[in-house]
């Protein structure tokens, strides 16, 4: 017998990935303070992978607390470039600073996914994507942000690869699901292993 499956996310992109895969699920946003979780981990020198996993688990655990017996999917993503870990830009000036710092360089997306039932972590995985940004002029960055507007503030990299953000890149290594923050292939493999979806 399969469990009730819940995606602990408000992201329409992650919901679309689940729908496209033919999964029967509901969704609910977690009620957590991401910065309160991230800050002590980063201060303790935890890796971008560890921060992403902690956030994914926190989201799934929170939603799990309200849905006994349900299998809850948590996911989160960090963006790293060298030793710097990025957060969602607070305003358009910070979005511009993010894009300027990516110019001509390759950054990494670290996407964690986990399964929690009744507050217990059953499984987690982290997938990576490497994204090469072409050289961007200040004028281009300003025009780009003017076109995409407040959407730039909704993602850690200040871009949406599924939209105009694709114009920022010169090369990408990694799958689309990882880039959107929900590594579907390891998730589907685990759901099959658990007997939750058709194998």
Active site residues: 76
Beta strands in 33-137 (DSSP E): 71-81, 84-86, 106-117, 120-133
Q: Which long-range contacts (CB under 8 A, 24 or more apart) does 167-172 make?
A: 168/99, 168/102, 168/133, 168/134, 168/136, 168/144, 169/131, 169/132, 169/133, 169/134, 170/132, 170/133, 170/134, 171/106, 171/131, 171/132, 172/129, 172/130, 172/131, 172/132
The structure tokens 């303070």 sit at 33
């Amino acid at each position: 017998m399969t469990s009730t499956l819940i995606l602990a996310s408000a992201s329409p992109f992650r919901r679309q990935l689940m729908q496209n895969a033919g999964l029967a699920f509901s969704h609910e946003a977690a009620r957590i303070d991401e910065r309160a979780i991230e800050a002590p981990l980063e201060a303790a020198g935890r890796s971008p992978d560890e921060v992403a996993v902690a956030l994914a688990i926190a989201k799934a655990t929170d939603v799990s607390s309200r849905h006994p017996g349900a299998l809850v999917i948590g996911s989160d993503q960090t963006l790293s470039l060298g030793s710097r870990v990025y957060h969602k830009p607070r305003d358009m000036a910070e979005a511009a600073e993010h894009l300027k710092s990516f110019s001509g360089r390759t950054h990494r997306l670290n996407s964690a996914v986990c399964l929690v039932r009744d507050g217990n972590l059953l499984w987690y995985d982290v997938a990576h994507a490497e994204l090469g940004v072409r050289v961007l002029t200040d004028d281009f960055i300003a025009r780009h942000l003017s076109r995409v507007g407040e959407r730039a503030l909704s993602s850690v990299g200040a871009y949406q690869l599924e939209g105009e953000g694709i114009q920022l890149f010169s090369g990408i290594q990694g799958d689309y699901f990882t880039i959107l923050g929900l590594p579907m292939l390891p998730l589907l493999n685990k759901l099959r292993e658990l007997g939750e979806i058709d194998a």
